[in-house]
Amino acid sequence: MKRKGSITIFLALTLSVILSLVCTSIESVRMAAARTQSLCSLDIGLFSLFGQYDKDVWKDFDLFMLDGSCGGGDLKLANLYKSMEAYVKPVLKQNSQKISLTRGGFTGYQLMTDEDGEVFYDQIIQYMKDTLGLQGAQFLLDHIKDGKDKTEEAKRRGTELENGNSLDHYDTAMNSAAQSSRELEEKQRQEAEAAAEGGAVVPVPTQPPQNVVNPIGAIKKVMKMGLLQLVIPSGKGISEASMGRRTLVSERLLQRGAGVIRHVSADTSYASQLLYHQYLTEKLGNYEKPSPYGLAYQLEYIIGGKRTDMDNLLSIAKQLLVIREGVNVASIMSDPAKRAGIEALSLAIASTFLVPPAAGAIDAALVTCWAFAESVLDVRELFDGGKVPLVKQPQQWQLSLENLPNLLGKLDSVRKTDPDGLSYADYLQILLISKNRREKIKRGMDMVELTIRGKLDREDFKLDSGVVAVEAAIDVKANKRKNFTITKQYSYD
């Protein structure tokens, strides 16, 4: 009997240890399940919250952001949290677990405009890489690079041409030569009178031919006309839209994110900038395809930075004219036939108007006038939807030297398009390259914001209320005795 009783005590002790282990394991599993269920609830809550992305921003610009203002202007994080909480609580109530949410909130968040717009820029670059691919990016790089180098050189030459004051030198030389000619004529007249009094035969001075037309005066008058009047084709209007600066991203004090979320490194590579330019070209309006919201010429604003469409278009026209002048001057100087024609005309003008010393100044002025007139036709062709070769061959020239005085009558009759040339959009992309990267990012955000504000009932939209990443934390109580703190980050990456 003693032996049987000792066995019972041993089994009882063993079973108590096993029972304690089983109960502990069950409780551990219950707590692990509660923790997992709490984590899933937060994950589902964040996923559901971020599923409410701004549909207008996505539809128009393929960008993902959560409207943190909930339809207003400024951030309303409490409302966002309540929206997330509404998805969290039903998940906590599932199964047999008694889990309750005690408190929670956002411990960090990142906005679309944070880090000086690098968040905005990074999302665009990722989108372009996904849609365009590496081959498309390389094509853009190859397509623009040659045009960029040649355009920068042309712009430099065109600027030098404008700063060279060849027409001012022409005026000075002509006035000086004319004064000298008048003095010579007066001297000859006095000598003739003296000779006549003495009974000598007075020779009749030979008159130079009078059929030479000096086109410089006519071109100078054209230069004083409004540039848009010259380069905008007949029948095409100009938008008069304007905007107020103080309400835009680039001008106002922006709301900023908080907490440690993710750091977006600035991608300053040349390839990424070309992708950004392509994105702007695809998504924003320009003169060829105006935007119906805000400014019509949005891409021109990125380059010009003016408050009105007209001012931005004028800025683009001036830059295009300078580029084309530089290209056309180089074309004139490299063409022996054009150089010979200019030299012959300058000598004829100098002889006709009795100003031989001014022949050099006339020559330089003719180059300037011819390049300007040809450039007006080029820019007009671009604004009319045509294409212009970056560097012209002699057979692609439009305006002859003889037709210079008739420029206004030849604005549309002699213009040529080149299927292999650069379009207006191509030139805009080249002009974008020379702009400061930071300015391009801020102005791009300006136009996104202005476009969305043009939508119905969205006049208070702010891009700096766009949430792209959050860190959320919730405290939950499981089975009325165990507390958990769950933290999770979520973003649109």
Query: What string of DSSP letters covers 322-384?
Result: HHHHHHHHHHHHH-HHHHHHHHHHHHHHHHHTT-GGGHHHHHHHHHHHHHHHHHHHHHHHHHT
Which of the two residues, 176 and 179, has the higher pLDDT score? 176
Residue 21 falls inside a structural domain: no
Q: Minimum mean pLDDT among 48-57, 312-321, 357-366, 434-443: which range?
A: 357-366
Residue 35: predicted pLDDT? 85
Question: Is the model's pLDDT at 181 over the cut of 60?
Answer: no
Greater model confidence, 97 or 130: 130
pLDDT at 238 over 90: yes
Per DSSP, 269 falls in state -
Report in angstroms the alpha-carbon separations of 52 from 49, 80, 82, 88, 478.
6, 10, 13, 15, 30
Neighbours of 473 (CB within 10 A): 15
Q: Is residue 367 part of a domain?
A: yes
Please report which confidence band the pLDDT of residue 83 belongs to, taking 50, 70 and 90 as the band edges: very high
Give percent of the chain with pLDDT exceeding 90.
43
* pLDDT of 4 higher than 90: no
- Residue-wise pLDDT for 250-301, tens only, equals 988 999 999 878 888 888 888 888 899 999 999 999 999 999 998 999 999 9
Split into its structural domains, the chain has a count of 1
Tell me the C-alpha distance between 435 and 299, whole Å: 12
203: pLDDT strictly greater than 90:
no
Judge whether 399 and 370 are in contact, CB under 8 Å.
Answer: yes
Q: What CA dihedral angle connects 133, 136, 142 and 144, to 10 degrees?
A: -110
The amino acid present at 193, given as its one-letter code, is: E
For 82, counting Cβ atoms within 10 Å of its Cβ (0-12 exposed, 13-18 middle, 19+ buried), the class is exposed
Is residue 45 within 8 Å of 92, Cβ to Cβ? no
Contact yes or no for 119/264 (Cβ under 8 A)? yes
DSSP 63-115: ---EETTTTSSS--HHHHHHHHHHHHHHHHTSSS--EEEEEEEEEEEEETTTG
Q: Judge whether 95 lies within some domain.
A: no
pTM given for the model: 0.83
Q: What is the pLDDT of residue 28?
A: 75
Quick: pLDDT tens for 25-49. Answer: 777 777 777 888 889 999 999 999 9
Residue 305, pLDDT score? 93
Percent helix, strand, coil in the chain, to 5, is 60, 10, 30
Nearest to 369 by CA among 396, 392, 341: 341
Out of 155-169, 283-297, 319-333, 433-447, least confident range: 155-169
Angle at 323 between CA 321 and CA 327, to 5 degrees: 115
Residue 121 has pLDDT above 80, yes or no: yes
Q: Would you give the DSSP letter of residue 3? A: H
Percent of the chain with pLDDT over 70: 83
Residue-range definition of the domain harbouring residue 319:
142-195+210-245+290-451
165 part of a folded domain: yes
**Is the sign of the CA dihedral 432, 438, 441, 444 positive or negative?**
negative
pLDDT for the residue 154: 66
pLDDT for 148 equals 65
Classify residue 298: in a domain, yes or no: yes
Residue scoring higher pLDDT (323 or 493): 323
> Is 166 within a domain?
yes
Say whether pLDDT at 111 is over 70: yes
Residue 203 has what DSSP assignment? Answer: P
Comparing 48-57, 207-216, 257-266, the range with the smallest average pLDDT is 207-216
Would 272 be classed as within a structural domain?
no
Whether the per-residue pLDDT at 118 is higher than 90: the answer is yes
Q: What is the mean pLDDT of the chain?
A: 84
- What Cα–Cα distance (Å) separates residue 31 from each residue in 89, 101, 464, 482? 18, 15, 41, 8
Question: pLDDT at residue 139 above 70?
Answer: no
Cβ neighbours of 360 (radius 10 Å): 13
Q: Report the pLDDT value the prediction gives residue 2, as an integer from 0 to 100.
A: 52
- What is the reported pLDDT for 202? 46
C-alpha to C-alpha distance for 248 and 462, rounded to whole angstroms = 8
Q: Closest by alpha carbon to 71, among 454, 464, 462, 446?
A: 462
The verdict on residue 68 lying in a domain is: no
Determine the pLDDT at residue 208: 47
Q: Are 290 and 310 spatial neighbours (Cβ–Cβ below 8 Å)?
A: no
